[in-house]
Structure 1
């Protein structure tokens, strides 16, 4: 392969849809494309002309027009145009003109058709038409961060180092020393690529072998970690980072097609996130008291600001911030039990709202509850769990997670009750939706287990999903509640801003943007029986169920991402300025690009609310709905 083609292939692989395609396919495309240069102001495609190729922009920028001459879109580096005209009888429907000196790669029609026929990712990408400005904005942000565009398989730089499970710990330690590794995968037979059944690390040798004074001939299977958490080779590096954050791991096996093909370590991720958030989680889980935990608040804020400045996407930021919050909660529960002694009956501490959705951001308050075993006797057991809840809630407040103003916390005895009572709560809320229960719905229908019998929460999610989809009156009431807040767009699609008070000339992007979108996604997710909690994962289930019109799920996903990133960058700026974090955006402080796409995102939410109202028309007789 010629050097020029290698360079083209390397460039193409940085952008959708080529980044998801096999290397050999991208190399083949690179060998078949031609290059063309257009000076600023020159026409590339004219209306009605015959077309037998598509264009990939290497550098520069292009304006796309409608047939009537009105501007339709602007596209820049890393985007494709011309494909819709090619697929519509080979006649140009969207004329194109270079607005900067522009270099393009020309993909011939026969190769384009072959790629569509043989590669689903390519066909899906080009099937959406010329990308909207909002889609381009979201894609551009995603491409700018190595964590989100680099696949995990690119981190695997050496063959797996393994040993058979019947080998001795001495043999395992010798092999680790010989190979210069800090961990070793354990297999169930002598073949290097056989099934992996466990892992040992340097820490295991220290804590499970040396500290326990075990003999050299101890089989390695007796100290290895089983039930491995793994990641797929095709996932992104940020997926690996989130898994390692959530489970406090320093080594992560990598699978391909169900078979382990390698291992990545914490050190492999450091060059992608130099001040690694994994270290922050480790410090949280090692803290010996509430005071040690509270001083870590500054590190959490610094991690958040750094992720925002490095263009991490909203799912990554929200997930990382959630993991920090869960880690604080987990450590406080452990400290509470050290002080109070073991719990008298089994329990589950669950988180609610944004933390349950993996969408926690700075300023979010604490929403939590306790599920207790059905053997709970208030006279005997409640004082213990009241003290536990108080310890955790007070500790979270000291660590920067304010008390819930609505008292949706385990300190409230109403939200500290047995399993059966929780089932009755949800049944009542769905059978007879009232104004009060619908206010709870925005919190309690997002739930996740943090500590204890977390399987109870999973069972509760399944029961909720099964009942909700068969409760049209409840879904209509939820839909009506979700329509209570509308995007801040006026009649002429201008922003509607606060007219007085300390937030004059601003808009609250959470209350008028992301929160209404989260609410309507929740309704659709319940309607299809989804047990997912994260809004993006719920959209995936909604898409699979084909509940919404074609293209609407993608539009909602892009709108959620763009609004969330505007909110995240605003909050990061407040943190770096040392001022109080809020969600109030002044549109005049945004770039024209951001203002234009924020309006488009709000319009997506507005259209989605209209569809929600059509899909779940408000019925009469909903008790307390007024």
Structure 2
């Protein structure tokens, strides 16, 4: 081994996770290292570029940034970065720059991957840091400006339309009309057989107006005489915000997007405006402007675009669930407005309820509708029920048109069982809590996640107060709820390997809702009822549970992380289905995940399993009968 490699070997021995490697393995790693020097202030890696190596700081200091430019971490000798990109689609996720003159050791991706997959102790040490990083990545501030974190690649929806320099203005006009575009990239002829054509300029609608028509030039004028030749462009992995600045700085409305020096699309200022409008606030405002069910149903594309955008920009599951729940509530509210316009004012006051994931603000793009009606105590079925039956049918049918499928368990306001006066709802909750049976609570558990959407929503505050007051002191009720919360177990076998099943189009799959997020929400609900929490959202309930100090130390944070990670795997899977043109669902095949994701998902399921064991210990569900 050469002197330089011996020096590398000696350095690596002093720092984890290398210090835990066998000598032979460590020597192999040292012999693969590429040494790089970076001057203070220089960029080391940029977001989105291929992740080719794992970086270890030999000397100096490195700053790691989020995609929006915020400082994430500072590293000195022995620190390392880049593992997240190597473990996730081989793309750099965190830009890095040298704070001081810095010497780095670069370990090639194949060597790092081999270490990670074949040395469990090494993987565990790397993963500890990586899990922490994952928590930061998916916990962005809810008020962050999303233009600051999205790349221009998300704006491209078609390949660029091109035309040769020899073409005429009329050729250009016809091409733009035929292809339905407002700009053309004008290309020079290739210099040789191996050399692709290069961009000579860009021709826009405005160029045709200003440089051709207003100047009264002939239609046979070559495009080379009227195009804009001082090209401004952006790389595919630059931020949308940077693209907007380029347009403002150079007073242009179209930008070619390049990858490896070749154009892959053209974005317009209108694309940025349209993209920025695809957030939950815009979708919600659009919902309340629609005049009928057909118009509301047409917004499904915008809802899916909003969901996909939040996933792309690393929003947390809580942010996504909350935004999608707000959208779902808005559909219900607008449908109720339209129903009252059609049917007239209600004969007695009422409150329309949201149940389950919408009430918990944990709704995703794959969801059904769970709802109910609370009616004023003056409700007379003979005189009033026709109105509320028609109202419920209008709303539930409208929701189905808007992408919220009918509840398979018929928990909807169209079911007379779930369309009752307030006094009967109070009697139902009292019966469920004071004289519980596992079966009655299995049928009614969803009603313990309830929120008022429309009408006399203050009634629901009273119902929740009743639930909180009576549930906290009812050991038999909590035992029955705990028993039902143990019915859905995590998909892990005896040796902690995944237990898969055939699920729809997936042949070896795990249903992440049925075996992951749902049992997590179930057990969190039991603890929340036990401590008298009035929160609805699972993460808010966990905060109250942690404050009540009823869990072993650290278990509350573990549950938080497990719920976040499983939720995000489920969310990303749905977003990938949408992008591929497939029908999104809750199932995922473990083999489609990276090794890091499989390990982390297994960890999350183990946390769920341990939490269920503690639930069984604390509430003794055997007493439920």
TM-score (normalizing by structure 1): 0.61
Cα deviation, 1:376-429, whole Å, max 9, x if unaligned, reads: 111111111111111101111111111111111111111111111001101111
- Cα 1:492–1:61 change in 2 (3 A) is farther
- 1:289 corresponding residue in structure 2: 292
5 Å matches for 1:207-356?
A: 273=276, 275-356=278-359
Task: Render the CA deviation track for 1:19-68: whole Å, top value 9, x for unaligned.
Answer: xxxxxxxxxxxxxxxxxx99973524799xxxxxxxxxx997679xxxxx
CA displacement, residues 139-179 of structure 1 (integer Å, 9 cap, x when unaligned) = 24236x5756689xxxxxxxxxxxxxxxxxxxxxxxxxxxx
| Cα distance change, pair 398–493 in 1 and its aligned pair in 2 (3 A) | same
- Shift in Å at residue 352 of structure 1? 0.4
Distance 1:356 1:78, change over 3 A: same
Counterpart check, 1:572 vs 2:543: no
Give the match for residue 139 of structure 1: 135
Aligned equivalents of 1:451, 1:99: Cα separation in 2: 50
Is the contact between residue 503 and residue 587 of structure 2 (CA under 8 Å) also seen in structure 1? Answer: no
- CA deviations 1:194-219 (Å, max 9, x no partner) are xxxxxxxxxxxxxxxxxxxxxxxxxx
| Match in the other structure for 2:5 | none
Q: What corresponds to 1:359 in structure 2? A: 362
CA contact (8 A) 1:509 1:584 kept: yes
- Contact 1:329–1:392, Cα closer than 8 Å, also in 2: yes
CA distance in 2, matches of 1:133, 1:451: 45
Distance 1:465 1:500, change over 3 A: closer
Aligned length: 413
| Alpha-carbon distance in structure 1 between the residues aligned to 2:277 and 2:504 | 41
Q: How does 1:435-474 map to 2 (within 5 A)?
A: 435-474=438-477
- Per the TM alignment, residue 104 of structure 1 is displaced from its structure 2 partner at its CA by 10
How far apart, CA to CA, are the structure 2 residues paired with 1:275 and 1:40?
50
Q: Quick check: 1:62–1:99 contact (8 Å CA) kept in 2?
A: yes
| Cα distance in 2, alignment partners of residues 99 and 313 from structure 1 | 22
Give the 3-state SS of the residue equivalent to 1:41 in structure 2: helix
Q: 1:431 to 1:355 in 2, by over 3 A?
A: same
Larger Rg: 2
Residues 252-300 of structure 1 deviation map (CA, whole Å, 9 limit, x = unaligned):
xxxxxxxxxxxxxxxxx98995633322111110111111111111111
Instruction: Specify the SS of the correspondent of 1:505.
Output: strand
Determine the structure 2 residue equivalent to 1:482: 485
Correspondence for 2:185: none
Q: Which residue of 2 aligns with 1:518?
A: 521
Asked if the contact 1:350/1:451 (under 8 Å) is kept, the reply is yes
The residue number in structure 2 matching 1:41 is: 12
Match of 1:355, SS state, is helix
1:534 and 2:537 are equivalent in the alignment: yes
CA contact (8 A) 1:137 1:562 kept: no
| Partner of residue 232, structure 1 | none
Partner deviation per Cα, 1:58-98 (whole Å, 9 max, x = no partner): 997679xxxxxxxxxxxx9956999xxxxxxxxxxxx9786
Match of 1:413 in 2: 416
Say whether the 8 Å CA contact 1:134–1:601 is kept in structure 2: no
Distance, in Å, in 2 between the alignment partners of 1:100 and 1:308 is: 21
Per the alignment, do residues 618 and 131 of structure 1 end up closer, same or farther by CA in structure 2, a change over 3 Å counting? same
- What SS does structure 1 have at the residue aligned with 2:366? coil
1:18 aligned residue: none
Say whether the 8 Å CA contact 1:142–1:149 is kept in structure 2: no
- Asked if the contact 1:318/1:360 (under 8 Å) is kept, the reply is yes
Structure 2: tracts of 5 or more residues without a match: 1-7, 20-43, 46-53, 58-65, 84-95, 101-124, 147-271
Q: Report the counterpart of residue 598 of structure 1 in structure 2.
A: 601
Displacement of 1:476 in angstroms is: 0.6
Structure 1 position 323, deviation (Å): 0.8
User: In structure 1, what is the Cα distance between the partners aligned to 2:361 and 2:457?
Assistant: 16
